[in-house]
Structure 1
């Protein structure tokens, strides 16, 4: 287990329920959030309109959760500076930019320009989050992604910021659907093992597919807490996944589209009503599953 420093322990506490389980509303999406607003005009959604939608998501949903994950390109520092974010809601700042680059057939994420561990603090963040694409069957401890994880863990620790290392595995261009499906649970577990070897102290991972696979991930994480991400599945499916994951060692959940994907609108009034009537009850159900 990679030991937490005192500031990192405080960071973990800010994103956890009173029972000590991580529960974060994920709202750092940009293009994905625009796509969820089905009533958007043909001209599209401006950065200002997206910022307003994110503010409403904070106002009507995330302020009832332990923490929210937001981006530094659209949402921040606005919701902090104008007081929309509640004082007792933890703030996780996403450091990754949208999309990825491909180098020799492998995916690599990019940082949002200028977003460092220090910038996370300047934006009012309690915790940082960075996404790394991994194929641990092709990337070992000496790989570029492993070095990037080590470097960022060290940078955040030096700044007193807890870093959540998010891992996404993916299908290779020349890999069949059947081969990827068979490899997927082990890829998730081996990715967790690689990240922990590189110093990761908190993990955000895909649901590996079964109770047995979740137990394997917990073993690979070697005491490092991991939270399962929703990956766009529907709410009922995700609640079931969270229950299985928590029963087999997961330490919480980070949910985005499963909570709010059918509650967003270009209209502030409609957003407020749908987030309150649809998304908030889902958050309560998810909290119960996390703390069960």
Structure 2
């Protein structure tokens, strides 16, 4: 992830926010995980072209309704930027994901192929890094990667969106140890958000599978340790549970959401070469995003009120 110094005034989160000061953003940076979703839906391993076509369809149909749109370099960023498909803020993913073809992301690093200055010239206003957080011997290395990401974004005149996903250490099941998910999410947030990225992207505690008041309690504990504006992601949360999870997080201090699966996951598998995908996105994904945006406008803490 190359960068070059800039004298441009530092950008603000208004570039990614709705007029209310909250965030209703769409994530479309899934890579092998999206291919796995297609395989589950169709029984086939799809091509890179299919992944790109799906992402571009989401950008065209859903992107205009999002305050920000996240996409990766390999499958669509250049097209989305060149075609000016996103009226809101464009975010480029800069994480190199380490995962087996049929497995989850196990670790990440900075993708040195992504040139931040070039991405900014193309139209990006922010960059995003996913960091897998574990309480293990590699904890400091990961923290150093996150700090370097924040520094490079600032140098390039881009906002930094840092996403922490807490996972148990390798071998914890065999050891008999119990993984306290909410506590790990808080510990990851305190450590990573303490690096002062522009925006922190957090997991929903308890996977959103709890009464709303319980979620508010857990999110309030999370809010206490995050010194910067923050949003929630939808991975790990059932699609139908996500609106209530966003509402709970926002009532507890979050400024909105940056989500993908909760908006478009049930449309994976529709033929990307037909008009059916665009129609389904308009009929199902867009209303979901609009409903989430209404929740954000009503309940989110404006980013500049933190």
TM-score band w.r.t. shorter chain: 0.7 to 0.9
Deviations 1:76-124 (A, max 9, x none): 20122234x13x22101111123359xxxxx530333411432431442
**1:121 alignment partner in structure 2:** 120
What residue in structure 2 maps to residue 186 of structure 1? 183
Residue 104 of structure 1 is matched in structure 2 by: none
Residue 39 (structure 1) shift: 6.0
Partner of 2:248: 244
User: Which residue in the other structure is 1:285 paired with?
Assistant: 291
Query: Could you tell me how far apart the structure 1 residues matched to 2:226 and 2:138 are?
Result: 17
The verdict on how the C-alpha distance between 1:239 and 1:6 changes in structure 2, with shifts beyond 3 A counting, is: farther
Number of residues of Structure 1 aligned to a counterpart in Structure 2: 275
Q: CA deviation at 1:216?
A: 1.3
SS across alignment from 2:90:
strand
Aligned to 1:161: 158
Q: CA offset at residue 151 of structure 1? A: 1.4
Supply the distance in 2 between the matched residues of 1:118 and 1:16 (Cα, whole angstroms).
Answer: 22
What is residue 8 of structure 1 aligned with on the other side? 11
Which runs of no fewer than 5 residues in structure 2 stay unpaired? 1-7, 101-105, 207-214, 299-306
Quick check: 2:135–2:168 contact (8 Å CA) kept in 1? Answer: no
Q: CA separation of 1:50/1:198 partners in 2, compared to 1, >3 Å: closer, same or farther?
A: same
Q: For the Cα contact (< 8 Å) 2:242–2:262, is it kept in 1?
A: yes
Tell me, in whole angstroms, the C-alpha distance in 2 between the residues paired with 1:91 and 1:62.
Answer: 10
Alignment CA distance shift 1:290-1:278 (3 Å): same
Match for residue 79 of structure 2? 78
Q: 1:133 to 1:75 in 2, by over 3 A?
A: same
Question: Does the 8 A contact of 2:243 with 2:295 survive in 1?
Answer: yes
SS where residue 257 of structure 2 aligns? strand
Q: Counterpart of 2:96 in 1: which secondary structure?
A: coil
How far off is 1:126 after superposition? 0.9
Tell me, yes or no, if structure 1 residue 274 matches structure 2 residue 280: yes
CA displacement at 1:173 relative to structure 2: 3.0
1:215 aligns with 2:220: yes
Tell me what 1:99 maps to. 98
Partner residue of 2:202 out of 201, 205, 208: 205
Task: Give the C-alpha shift of residue 6 in structure 1.
Answer: 5.0
Contact 2:204–2:237, Cα closer than 8 Å, also in 1: no
User: What RMSD, in angstroms, separates the aligned Cα atoms of the two structures?
Assistant: 2.5
